[in-house]
Amino acid sequence: MSRVLALKSSILGDYSQSNKLVENYIKNVDQANLTVRDLAAQPLPVLDFAIATALRATEDLSEQQQQVVDLSNTLIEEIKTADTLIIAAPMYNFTIPTQLKNWIDLIARAGVTFKYTENGVQGLIEGKKAIVVTTRGGIHKDLPTDTMTPYLRTVLGFIGITDVEFVYAEALNMGEDAATKGMTEAQSQLETMA
């Protein structure tokens, strides 16, 4: 059975459209093969000098720094043990939520999830699939206002996850009919991926 890591990053909790889509996707996943991390309900620390230093250090860590490294290692292990990542990523002000960025900052680690070689960067987490479910109030797919898609594709590829599919639920704030259509189309696309 395929192992799934589900990441939620919406600050809207039960009102979140991206969370609803991800919940519908994972409802048929065997609970023993599912890890759910709600990055908004259980926020991760924001990258600062102390955290950046801890993630690069190899020895002489303070207790607080060791806790950060342990958390980072746990997050990375969740990725490594999953076959598929499904990421709820609503668009906030043309980009990803801070909560998702905090996760990225803790899992993108030189020598752990990627390495620099004479031929460039090599991702160290391979053989994974990622499905990014992105919800938007307007229509942004394939437009300059969509900074999320290239960013997430780049970040995931940087650590070795190159099999990335995007599911777009758009026009959610453009009237009831448009919102229903956007959610229905996204749900239909997700059903083909399950």
pLDDT in tens, 110-124: 999 999 999 999 999
pLDDT in tens, 134-161: 999 999 999 999 999 999 999 999 999 9
Look at residues 5, 23, 6 and name the one whose alpha carbon lies nearest to residue 14: 23
Specify the pTM. 0.94
For the chain, list the domains and their CATH numbers. Answer: 4-193 (3.40.50.360)
pLDDT in tens, 14-54: 899 999 999 999 998 888 999 999 999 999 999 999 899 89
